[in-house]
Amino acid sequence: MKTIRELFGIDLPIIQAPIAGAQSGAMAAAVSAAGGLGSLPCAMLTPEGIRSELDKIRSITGRPVNVNFFAHRPPVPDPDREAKWRETLAPFYAEFGIDPATIPAGPGRAPFDADAADVLEAYRPAVVSFHFGLPEPSLLARARKCGAKILSTATTLEEALWLEDQGVDAIIAQGVEAGGHRGIFLSKDLTTQVGTFALVPQVVRAVKVPVIAAGGIADATGVRAAMALGAAGVQVGTAYLLCHEALTTPIHREVLASSAARHTAITNIFTGRPARGVVNRIIREIGPMHAGAPEFPLGTSAIAPLRAKAESRGTGDFSPLWCGQNASGCREVSAAEITRGLASGV
Amino acid sequence: MKTIRELFGIDLPIIQAPIAGAQSGAMAAAVSAAGGLGSLPCAMLTPEGIRSELDKIRSITGRPVNVNFFAHRPPVPDPDREAKWRETLAPFYAEFGIDPATIPAGPGRAPFDADAADVLEAYRPAVVSFHFGLPEPSLLARARKCGAKILSTATTLEEALWLEDQGVDAIIAQGVEAGGHRGIFLSKDLTTQVGTFALVPQVVRAVKVPVIAAGGIADATGVRAAMALGAAGVQVGTAYLLCHEALTTPIHREVLASSAARHTAITNIFTGRPARGVVNRIIREIGPMHAGAPEFPLGTSAIAPLRAKAESRGTGDFSPLWCGQNASGCREVSAAEITRGLASGV
């Protein structure tokens, strides 16, 4: 099996996980310049925003970069469901003096579309990765045609086999330890979600394409262990959250650096899709999983004013404090140093 | 850090996980004779039964063996709760023509007690392991005084620190991938449960005693990866379930050898405590976790007649089909061959 060094033309088998909301192109450029594969998360960017970040990256490094998109199908808004969800949150709105009737529709999260494909054609990045499956075939074909290697995430053996069937160039096997949104897309049943130790070797045995391990990998020791399981490389997110280039908020940084980061849960109450973050007040009081949460990404707007008010008072009680089950690799150094540290044992 | 080879005086860093209900001393003796550490699960044995199995083991091998006990505090029976639980199961009783009034109290699972301590004093095994924490101090002192090294299982960093504080000789770090009963004992919150990849390195860094990795380890590759994470050895259960010495039922064997074994869940409906098994009809219909399940081990009796009837019709719809998230190591060979295979890369 090819390692991702050969596949992507990079020096170190380390992919910096795209972290929408907590990084810009600066982190991607720093990781790529250091020899890893930096990632630019585009789910919260307009096409103009993507262009601007890619310009910034190009001004820093000419090395391969991964451009990452969500691939969900936008849901049909369901006013009844969303109204009921705001009723669930009503006691919190009252506590903070928020009139739920005044809450604007949130920015949401945009999936890969024709406009994004135009950007790819103009910039021709080395790698394009998708989360939540893959876009529809005609859009996927456009991403492929611009010359990019195509990556997507599997959380189960079935998803890995499905992705291989669609012709992806490599598969990220995301163990249940991973922070942020689960890539799960063939099922809604969270009991299907498997630990990295169980997932990686089973996927490696079942597919022919390179497998990239993700979930619980925090340092050089974790990278070595993942490669021992047959991974061709690793994708690491949480360890980058305190680095200089991260846009992680001060409140989120404080939590990550504390023992509170040891207790995370998979929750759907922030966006509508399951994602792992540190257990905080809102997760304890209505979560972690709530059947009434809106469809992704419609969940983001209802919680936004609570998060803003609480953060203005200095607490992360209502914030999505994304974090994997192993925050021990978080360090306040440069992204390049995190990258070299991860790769130091392989 | 000492490896468990030195600590226990064994040749291979492999502990065969105790599997109450699916093995006797024959498997323990075979593993120990092959150079690993075989385990005798005593939770479902009387003191006479333990003596008889230990006699059998001694007749086969003089090498170190682990004698394993549960360390739960027996619950006060709660007739209301148990009656309500039988109401939950009523549709199934009706389907199989079972009169719930005729269900006898089940055999349950006995914790380590003074009688068991008498047996240890008579046989002086090299290793004694506990699940669900540790017995009360005076009982623990008796186990220790017979010369055995003391092991117990941690499912979180907090549990590992607690066990080290009680003076255990080594800690089994049980990742969420593991089959059978979770060792969890300081919390009832399953969101605290962590994948092997995240748990092992964090425990290794936090404690001074050797750490034994468990959960998702199925073959030599997994053992190598666990050792790369800093483990001093591994404990493996699922991979032994199809071996010649296993007492695994034919129905359970068939499931383990099929793709159904890929989908497991942590469920409390079979015994009252969370344990990982293959998702079957009863888990799908009332589980996996049910707030009304009796306190461990009182859950065992209500489900026993359903299991018996369903198994007599050739299905495992109501059976606890214990299995970890990586059944790919199950092979129909001798326990010695499984043991040597696991150790072949270290």
Say whether A224 and B228 touch across the interface (CB within 8 A).
yes
The pLDDT value given to residue A107:
60
Average pLDDT of span A291-319: 95
Residues of A in contact with B156 (CB under 8 A): 262
Q: Which of B158, B192, B197 to mutate to test the interface with A (most CBs of A within 10 A)?
A: B197
Residues of B in contact with A276 (CB under 8 A): none
Closest CB from B192, B205, B266 relative to A263: B192
Average pLDDT of span A28-43: 98
Say whether B215 and A195 touch across the interface (CB within 8 A).
yes
The pLDDT value given to residue B156:
98
Assess contact for A104 and A298: CB atoms under 8 A. no
- The closest alpha carbon to B288, from B307, B261, B263, belongs to B263
Taken in order A37, A42, A43, A44, is the CA torsion positive or negative?
positive
The pLDDT value given to residue A105:
74
CA closest to B225 among chain A residues:
A225
Q: Which of A155, A193, A197 to mutate to test the interface with B (most CBs of B within 10 A)?
A: A197
| A39 vs B345, higher pLDDT | A39
- The closest alpha carbon to A265, from A182, A187, A198, A328, belongs to A182
Least confident of A79-88, A181-190, B99-108, B335-344: B99-108
- Which phi and psi angles does B10 have, rounded to 5°? -120, 165
CA closest to B227 among chain A residues:
A225
Say whether A175 and B191 touch across the interface (CB within 8 A).
no
Say whether B191 and A263 touch across the interface (CB within 8 A).
yes
Say whether A197 and B219 touch across the interface (CB within 8 A).
no
Average pLDDT, chain B: 96
Q: Indicate whether this model's pTM tops 0.90.
A: yes
The pLDDT value given to residue B1:
59
Say whether B225 and A225 touch across the interface (CB within 8 A).
yes
Across the A/B interface, how many CB contacts are shorter than 8 Å? Answer: 121
Average pLDDT of span A308-327: 97
Closest CB from A195, A288, A326 relative to B216: A195
Say whether A225 and B288 touch across the interface (CB within 8 A).
no
Angle at A58 between CA A57 and CA A60, to 5 degrees: 70
The pLDDT value given to residue B108:
74
Taken in order A6, A209, B342, B334, is the CA torsion positive or negative?
negative
Interface of B with A (CB under 8 A): 156-158, 175-177, 191-192, 194-199, 201-202, 205, 215-219, 221-222, 224-226, 228-230, 262-266, 279, 288, 324-326, 328
| Chain B closest-CA separation from residue A253 CA (Å) | 20
As given in the structure block, the two tokens for residue A333 are 């150094």
Say whether A265 and B326 touch across the interface (CB within 8 A).
no
Three-state secondary structure call for residue B24: coil
Interface of A with B (CB under 8 A): 156-157, 175-177, 191-192, 194-199, 201-202, 205, 215-219, 221-222, 224-226, 228-230, 262-266, 279, 288, 324-326, 328
| Chain A closest-CA separation from residue B79 CA (Å) | 31
Taking the C-alpha atoms of residue A292 and residue B6, their distance in angstroms, rounded to an integer, is 54
As given in the structure block, the two tokens for residue A143 are 């991403």
ipTM comes to 0.95
Say whether A177 and B157 touch across the interface (CB within 8 A).
no
Length of chain A: 346
Taken in order B16, B22, B25, B31, is the CA torsion positive or negative?
negative
The pLDDT value given to residue A89:
97
Which residues does chain B have with pLDDT short of 70?
1, 106-107
Assess contact for B323 and B253: CB atoms under 8 A. no
Closest CB from A177, A228, A229 relative to B195: A177
Say whether A325 and B198 touch across the interface (CB within 8 A).
yes
The pLDDT value given to residue A313:
96
Taking the C-alpha atoms of residue B143 and residue A224, their distance in angstroms, rounded to an integer, is 38
Q: Count CA atoms within 13 Å of residue A212 on its CB side.
A: 27
Say whether B196 and A192 touch across the interface (CB within 8 A).
no
The CATH code for residues A4-345 is 3.20.20.70
Closest CB from B191, B221, B225 relative to A265: B191
Length of chain B: 346
Residues of A in contact with B269 (CB under 8 A): none
Say whether A219 and B201 touch across the interface (CB within 8 A).
yes
Three-state secondary structure call for residue A90: helix
The pLDDT value given to residue A260:
97
Place A104 in a pLDDT band, splitting at 50, 70 and 90: confident
CA closest to B345 among chain A residues:
A228
As given in the structure block, the two tokens for residue B280 are 């079957």
Is the pLDDT assigned to residue A2 strictly greater than 90?
no
pLDDT digit string (tens) for A228-253?
A: 999 999 999 999 999 999 999 999 99
Quote the percentage of chain B above a pLDDT of 90: 93
Is the pLDDT assigned to residue A106 strictly greater than 90?
no
What residue spans define the domains of chain A? 4-345
**CA–CA distance from B251 to each of B42, B114, B320 (Å)?**
23, 36, 11
* β-bridge mates for residue B278, sequence order: B264
Taking the C-alpha atoms of residue A167 and residue A174, their distance in angstroms, rounded to an integer, is 18
| Chain A closest-CA separation from residue B156 CA (Å) | 9
- The closest alpha carbon to A159, from A129, A185, A198, belongs to A185
Q: Which fold has domain B1-72+109-244+330-346?
A: TIM Barrel (3.20.20)
Say whether A197 and B201 touch across the interface (CB within 8 A).
no
Count of H-run helices and E-run strands, chain B: 14, 11
Distance between first and last Cα of chain A: 16
| Chain B closest-CA separation from residue A262 CA (Å) | 8
Taking the C-alpha atoms of residue A173 and residue B100, their distance in angstroms, rounded to an integer, is 46
Angle at A27 between CA A25 and CA A32, to 5 degrees: 95
